[in-house]
Amino acid sequence: MRIYNKQELLRRHPDLISDVFDVWGAPIFIYLDVFMFSILLCLMLFASGTPYSITVGIPVAFFLLFICVYKVVFSGNEKPPA
């Protein structure tokens, strides 16, 4: 079994770190991350026996809330087109 050293791997393949950061900062990855976080938070707050509309509404509300917070927090970092 081979043991990989992260530092040596990054020295040999510097393009890997840029690929990882490109995927990490991709909007689809951020939306999926927010979606999973909203589902997790919903499951933590979920009470058994709630109506179906609340069961669907809470994750959707959390998702929309987190997307709005993401847009507000990170909208100032983007430069306007030249």
User: Range of 46's domain?
Assistant: 24-73
Q: Is residue 63 part of a domain?
A: yes
Quick one: how far is CA 8 from the chain centroid?
28
Q: Is residue 14 part of a domain?
A: no
Q: Is residue 35 part of a domain?
A: yes
Average pLDDT value for residue range 36-47 = 76
pLDDT recorded at residue 35? 84
The total number of structural domains in the chain stands at: 1
Instruction: Quickly list H helices, 1-82.
Output: 6-12, 14-24, 27-45, 52-74
Indicate if the pLDDT at residue 63 is higher than 60.
Answer: yes
Go through 31-70 and write b for each residue having 16 or more CB atoms within 10 A of its CB, e for each that does not. Answer: eeebeeebeebbeeeeeeeeeeeeeeebbeebbeebeeee
pTM (global) more than 0.85: no
Q: Is residue 16 part of a domain?
A: no
Q: Is residue 15 part of a domain?
A: no
pLDDT recorded at residue 4? 67
Q: Is residue 34 part of a domain?
A: yes
Q: Is residue 11 part of a domain?
A: no
Please provide the average confidence, as pLDDT, over all residues in the chain. 75
